[in-house]
Chain A
Amino acid sequence: MTSNRSLQKSILYNDLVAILGAENVSRDEVECQAYVGDVSFLGMVIPRHNFEVERPDFIVWPETTEQVSEVLKVANIHKTPVTPYCGGAGVQGAAVPLFGGIVMDVKKMDKVLEIDETNLKVTCQTGLIGQTLEWILNEKGYTYAHIPQSTYCSGIGGFLAGHSAGVLSTKYGKIASMVLGMEVVLPTGRVIRTRAVPQSAAGPNLNHLFIGSEGTLGVITEATLVIHPMPEVRHFRSFLFPNLHSAFEAVRKIMRRGLLPGTLRVSDEEESKEFYKQDGSFMTISYDGFEELVDLQLRETMKIAEAEGGSDLGPEPGERWWKRRFSSVYPKDSGNPLEMGRHTLNVGNVIDSAGSFTYLEAAHREIRQALLRIPGQSFMAHFSHWYKTGGMMYPYCVNTGAASEEEMIDRYFRMHRAAVEVIHRLGGTMTHHHGVGLTLRGFMQEEFGESFETLRSIKHTLDPNNIMNPGKLGFDWR
């Protein structure tokens, strides 16, 4: 006899097929298993260690905004969770479908709708993988200049929902700075659009409500992004400073001077030693654009670096870094962050906090101290994504020696608790671009303080049945 539950599933399946066609709905076991996790530590741990999680019931591939809307309406009728999924390349677990239900893979929404060369903008659906959009633009002589390390494996929808940053963000900004307008399907199925204009004073900018919402407030289906002519040149320079403080001083003065580096990375002493075999603090900087402007900025940079005691290491280390800028995420025999927990009981993650220049120096010192109190913990960091007011710290935290899967997970959260306590005490934010997901969901109340209630009210209003990616961003558990 068919149980009530399976009958409900059968009805839902047929409702979905009616919207999308059978070829765009799957309940195949192997296919559903492929969506159980993502590339976050927790997302990688789940399938390997057989943690009990609900496998998604259905994977759906909408091709149009209307189909997304219809699926969400049906999900509301069935009160079924919906987890939007693009590349699944987030590192905080935002795309893990914690409560099963429907995984909405948006990668068939991959059309470039318009490239406007006069007004320098591209309008596209959000299922495009980042590199694919970049290739399409490159073919016409443009770039959208958003190059996160995951550009091969994550898509526009993920960049927007995760509020991501690329390696050129110091010049070009995070994804929010690149978005002119968006189309969003709200959790109830209603479709809204924001105006794709350079700026507007007509009330609050709703783009910012959905950027970083991690699929909890709807599905972003279309975006208009700024594009740039391909830069004529990109030049690199590297420096070695006596210590981290002097490197920070150089960065602060570079930014105050109004220079616009594409990349600006500073390694702490541990990372300088480990990766660059240098004693001190290693810096790589790049400028792109037309030759004269790039040269002028490099000359100014060299003056500032010299004044802060930096030794000029020439262009080669930076050029090498650029060529191998994605290397660290490829699998290695010696292990990499993504292998942590997958084949071992080791923990690995990055806690990408951000704050003022004053914050960064103090946070580096204090987070390091706090984390190294945990058994088996190592710590090294670099700093990038700069603003006139500060930047981001990127500590690579590995913990080894857990005796069981439970202890491994406990150490993972202990690591984050210890760091977030320092971050909030010193006035920083716990994440610059990795987002919240499962990892930081428990700290959102602290991060937002009183204003979290405002965010929660918005969630309740937009998603009364809590169908959109439940359990994420600190919103209600299912």
Chain B
Amino acid sequence: MELQKVERLARLCETCPKMCRHVCTTHNVTRSEADTPNERCSIAYRALLRGYFLPEEAPYMYQKCATCGLCLAWCETEIDAGEVMLAARVDLVNAGMAPVEAAAIQKNIQSEGNPHGEPASDRYAAIANEIRVLPDTAEVLYYAGCDTLYRQPEIAQAALKVFRAAGVDHTMIKAGEPCCGEPLRLMGYIEDFKASARKVMDGVSQTGAKTVVCTCPSCLRMMKDVYASYGVQAPGGVEFLHMSEYLLRLMNSGQLKFTRSLDLKMTYHDPCDLGRRLEIYEPPRQVLALLPGVKYQDMFFNRRDARCCGAGGGLAATNLALVIEASKTVVGMARNVNAEVLVTACPTCKTSFNRQTYKLDDLKTMDLIELVALAL
């Protein structure tokens, strides 16, 4: 069983008095002891000892972990209960017990190249005019990702506008970005994930880019940190950056000139993959500080302690009601600091918060790159 590889984590976690329960994204919604990292690890550990899962255990493996890393941030033993859940999900797939939502994601990526099941031909629909004029090869590759292109395409539009304004030699994978594979990894389809990873790296190679810039922290994390651990190597000499890091370079080198003062009160939400996983906390804040007319205040929980938007771990596909409840916590904190804009740097987080803020007059959710584009 894949769980064998994380046996130590599961065994130790189940002996804890739940020192991370107070920060667990799912527990803070359901308040059930079953929805704690400790209990999930306990179920996994019992399954490991037994050698198989009971049918009633499967939903707890899948639906109730955001893999947000908050438990790890609060664990002095450094147990990542999310890793245990991912291993359990692999075992469930191998046992033919994957839930229908997971199987649907695998099928959608296989057939349409995205987890949402949207037509592959629509991938660049929102940026069709821009894509047409991009070169086949360039110094910088912008990788937008499925959530950006299908759910928050204005992020991609803003990114391309900023690249043009800064005079960056840039392109995208013109034949159509493959999915980075993260949803497959989250659902336990490891062989499919590796296949996705290889396709992405082939695409990167073909553009000849030396710098890959992502607006989605999960795509970035896969390319920068995760692919290699599954044996998929990046082409030599390629640097992987989050858009916030790249923006900071452009701003510091004077390549971006701003003409418009934003005059807005803002706060910033650290996405889990960008913050806790990749430890990129300051560049987004530094970018905001360099924008004209930004009044900024951090929320009470920020950086390593930032709360999850709720949509981590594939929960947006498997338990949307939970995501909606979890996202209210962050929106509430943004209101506590009287922000007019809840800024994030992740399309998935933006989708989560938008469900709350689209109906509000005094608080909006925007991606960092949209604000930069707005100030040009």
Contact = CB atoms under 8 A, between A and B. Distances in A.
17 contacts: A29-B56, A39-B18, A47-B42, A59-B33, A87-B21, A89-B17, A89-B18, A107-B31, A108-B31, A152-B19, A152-B22, A153-B19, A324-B76, A329-B19, A330-B19, A331-B77, A336-B15
B32 A330 contact: no
Contacts of A44: 15
Interface residues of A, number: 43
B39 interface: yes
Interface in A7-60: 26, 28-31, 33-35, 39, 44, 47, 59
A105 B33 contact: yes
A214 interface: no
Interface in B34-51: 34, 36, 39, 42-43
Given A26-B32, A88-B18, 9 more contacts: A28-B56, A31-B34, A33-B34, A34-B34, A61-B31, A89-B18, A105-B33, A152-B74, A330-B76
Please provide the 4 A-B residue pairs with the shortest distance between their CB atoms, ordered closest to farther: A331-B12, A107-B31, A34-B34, A39-B17
A88 B31 contact: no
Nearest to A327: B76
A153 B22 CA distance: 7
- Which of A33, A89, A330, A338 has the most chain B CB within a 10 Å cutoff? A330
B248 interface: no
Nearest to B301: A135
Interface string B4-35: 00001001111111111110000000011110
B75 A153 contact: no
A88 B36 CA distance: 12
B55 to A, nearest CB: 10
B31 A127 contact: yes
Interface in B56-108: 56-57, 59-60, 74-77, 79
B300 interface: yes
B65 to A, nearest CB: 14
A31 B17 contact: no
Interface in A385-426: none
Interface string A320-364: 000010110111110010110011000000000000000000000
Interface string B307-329: 00000000000000000000000
- Which of B20, B22, B39, B336 has the most chain A CB within a 10 Å cutoff? B22
A135 B56 CA distance: 36
B77 A105 contact: no
A338 B74 CA distance: 18
A129 B22 contact: yes
Contact of A105 (B11, B14, B32): B32
- Which of A127, A324, A339 has the most chain B CB within a 10 Å cutoff? A339
Nearest to B75: A330
B97 to A, nearest CB: 14
B43 A30 contact: yes
A139 interface: yes
A34 B31 CA distance: 12
A132 interface: yes
Nearest to A324: B76
A343 B14 CA distance: 10
A330 B77 contact: yes
A327 B33 CA distance: 22
A64 interface: no
B34 A153 contact: no
Contacts, number: 92
B34 A30 contact: yes
Contacts of B79: 331
Nearest to A151: B22
B40 to A, nearest CB: 10
A338 B15 contact: yes
A34 B32 contact: yes
Nearest to B27: A107
A311 interface: no
A378 interface: no
Contacts of B33: 31, 34-35, 59, 85, 88, 105
- Which of B13, B39, B336 has the most chain A CB within a 10 Å cutoff? B39
A150 interface: yes
B348 to A, nearest CB: 25
Contacts of B8: 333
Contacts of A39: 17-18
Interface string A97-139: 0000000010110100000000000000001010110010001
Nearest to B17: A39
Contact of A153 (B21, B57, B77): B21
A327 B75 CA distance: 9
A331 B20 contact: no
B21 A129 contact: yes
A331 B11 CA distance: 9
Contact of B19 (A26, A110, A326): A326
Given A34-B39, A331-B77, A150 B11 contact: no
A125 to B, nearest CB: 12
Nearest to A139: B300
Contacts of A129: 21-22
A446 to B, nearest CB: 29
Contacts of A139: 300, 336
Given A88-B33, A331-B79, A338-B17, A30 B60 contact: yes
Contacts of A26: 32
A343 B21 contact: no
Interface string A226-247: 0000000000000000000000
B14 A342 contact: yes
A152 B13 CA distance: 15
Nearest to B305: A135
A427 B69 CA distance: 49
A215 B37 CA distance: 26
B87 to A, nearest CB: 18
Contacts of B12: 331-333
Contacts of A131: 22
B56 A30 contact: yes
A29 B76 CA distance: 31
A150 B59 CA distance: 29
- Which of B21, B59, B77 has the most chain A CB within a 10 Å cutoff? B21
